[in-house]
Structure 1
Amino acid sequence: MTDEVRTVRANGIQLAYRSWGVGTGEGSPVVLLHCLGEDGEDWRGPLVAQLAASHPLYALDLRGHGRSEWPGEYGLEQVRDDVLGFLDALALERVVLIGHSYGSVVAYLLAQHHPERVERLVLEETGALRRPDSPLEVPEAPVGDARFDWEVKTQFVRQRNAPDPAWWERLDAITAPTLLIGGGPSSHLPQEDLVAMAERIPEARLVTIEDGGHLVHEDRPKEFTSAVLTFLTETDGATGTP
């Protein structure tokens, strides 16, 4: 696997990405989207090691993170369109899309609006974008350097407090076979939200990895990798077309 970080221009900004397994297998390309505050390096581990033997893998630094551009504007639909632009720039017509937390929200927004581009979808510890019972607080920026633009977090919290109702209503527009992975009671996310999302997405299944917490792929890497590989094997050949 390579440590080289490349860049590509997409949706008007520079996006950094890492790649593994390109040219080594015939499997569908896999695009990995990290959680808020991380970058593409966060995905390095057992899942990447196993998938790279048969699939080309691409792990982005989303806008405002890592080595990608920090433009100061971080609407979820902008980030979604960045990923679409990335697919276009690399001529990736249809992909397996895997997202964690914030990255999983971006992933399912893309799957809603461009179902023809998403062959299969994996959502780790995703969030249901519905108006919360009480507003979330906008956090103050920490002192010192950060690996990401704190404005990403600020704008995300504001969007969580006043989400576009269509983000929830359009879950049934996702046509790709979908795996949702929850971390069980040790996660800070309401696990009932994952149940509700699995019921709304037409071809969805939910796997709960007990004691996985919010960082399932880090804290339970074997179980996470097994769940993803089983899903990809069982849905191999699925079209995911509208």
Structure 2
Amino acid sequence: MLRWARAWGVPRGTLGASSPRCSAVSVAFSSGQGNADPRPLPLSYTLLDGETTLPAIVFLHGLFGSKTNFNSIAKAMVQRTGRRVLTVDARNHGSSPHSTDASYEAMSQDLQGLLPQLGLMPCVLIGHSMGGKTAMLLALQKPDVVERLVVVDISPVGTTPGSYLGDFITAMKAVDIPEKVPHSQARKLVDKQLSSVVKDPSVRQFLLTNLVEVDGRFSWRVNLDILAQHLDKILTFPQQLGSYPGPTLFLCGGNSKYVQPSHHSEIRRLFPQAQIQTVSNAGHWVHSDKPQDFMDAVNSFLA
């Protein structure tokens, strides 16, 4: 029976950019055992070198994602902007530690611990979906930490569409792989077992990139139990009374329903300088569906 793993992001496009002339620092921490300590967790991250006089760009992935979701875009951003670029695994995701606390407050605290440690304040904070909610909360709580904010296809209003995610978690937990099978065979078995619930082949293929082998057994790395327990809270956003005064871009997929026109008034209440821009022919994963349009929009906003 499978243990747990990271997943999600569904990359549907690539940038094809050559590697930037910069060094990458990758730090990975082993998953802890249900840490409920309110202190920040030591997140796994990759930092690409760039000009230290400019605010760094920090990417936050969505639910079940990881820092690798932004690998191509991060490298292209270094080339196009000359800035340092940081990609981060959220708690309970990727190579970051696990915790029984999956709240946005806790994820914001993790970043408040990491960013000053790396000397990346203030930064340009870019968050997709769950990462967008973490980014919004951090900007509202600590506006001096965030020089500019980009929120990708999510809003601070209501419940996120995503009732199917609970079914995905259940299906992932139920996957059964015999011991001592080759990785290629394990992938085929998981793909077949997930197909009755995860209909989109591209989603399944993304999930399968996160299948890992540990001591001869295959496992998922995301903390599925905790995310399942807290899914309702993850799909909402904590009520906020303050506002973030800095420049803000809400970048929405033209084919997505995550940000509705009825959300705009609350967006502008919390983020008075917000621009709301739509990327045509993109779904919820704007950066994967239309990577060049995503890059152009972000670079225009930075300019």
Fold-level similarity (TM above 0.5): yes
Secondary structure of the 2:295 match is helix
Q: TM-score, normalised by structure 2?
A: 0.66
Which residue number in structure 2 is paired with residue 189 of structure 1? 258
- What is aligned with 1:148? 222
Which residue number in structure 2 is paired with residue 177 of structure 1? 247
Note the C-alpha offset of 1:193.
5.3
Counterpart mapping for 1:27-176 below 5 A:
27-46=54-73, 48-52=75-79, 54-130=82-158, 139=166, 140-141=169-170, 142-143=172-173, 144=175, 145-159=219-233, 164-166=238-240, 169-170=241-242, 173-176=243-246
Q: Is the 8 A contact 1:181 1:209 kept in 2?
A: yes
Report the identity percentage.
26
Q: What SS does the corresponding residue of 1:165 show, helix, strand or coil? A: coil
Q: 2:210 corresponds to which residue?
A: none
C-alpha contact 1:32 1:97 (8 A) present in aligned 2: yes
Q: Deviations over 1:79-113 (max 9, x none)?
A: 11001111122132211101011001000100001
CA distance 1:47–1:207, shift in 2 (3 Å): farther
- Evaluate the alpha carbon distance shift between residue 161 and residue 119 of structure 1 in structure 2; reply closer, same or farther with a 3 A threshold: closer
RMSD: 2.7
Which amino acid letter does the alignment assign opposite residue 5 of structure 1?
S
In the comparison of the two structures, how many residue pairs are matched? 225
Structure with max Cα Rg:
2
Unpaired runs of 5+ residues, structure 1, are: 234-242
Question: For residue 45 of structure 2, what is the amino acid of its counterpart?
Answer: Y
TM-aligned CA deviation for residue 41 of structure 1: 1.0
Change (3 A) 1:6 1:102: same
Q: 1:120·1:177 contact (CA, 8 Å) conserved in 2? A: yes
Q: Which has the higher contact order (CA 8 A, sep 6+)?
A: 2
- Is this contact kept in 1: 2:42–2:110, CA < 8 A? no
Does 2:41 match 1:6? no
- 1:37-64 C-alpha deviation (Å, 9 max, x unpaired): 1111111224541335511111110101
Q: Which moved more, 1:70-79 or 1:212-221?
A: 70-79
Q: 1:123-155: per-residue Cα shift (whole Å, max 9, x none)?
A: 0011324368x9958825323432411145324
Q: Secondary structure at the match of 1:98?
A: strand
Secondary structure at the counterpart of residue 302 of structure 2: helix
Question: Does the alignment pair 1:219 with 2:246?
Answer: no
Q: Secondary structure at the match of 1:44?
A: helix
Alpha-carbon distance change, 109 to 122 in structure 1, aligned in 2, over 3 angstroms: same
Question: In 1, Cα distance between the equivalents of 2:290 and 2:43?
Answer: 29
Q: Which amino acid aligns with 1:6?
A: V
Alpha-carbon offset, residue 21 of structure 1: 2.5
Residue 160 to residue 5, structure 1, CA distance change in 2 (3 Å): closer
TM-fit CA distance, 1:211: 1.4
For residues 212 and 21 of structure 1, the distance between their equivalents in structure 2, rounded to whole angstroms, comes to 30
- When the two structures are superposed, what TM-score results if normalisation uses the length of structure 1? 0.81
SS in 2 for 1:68: coil
Residues 138 and 158, structure 1, Cα contact 8 Å, conserved in 2: no
Aligned partners of 2:74 and 2:85 also within 8 Å: no
* Secondary structure at 1:14 match in 2: coil
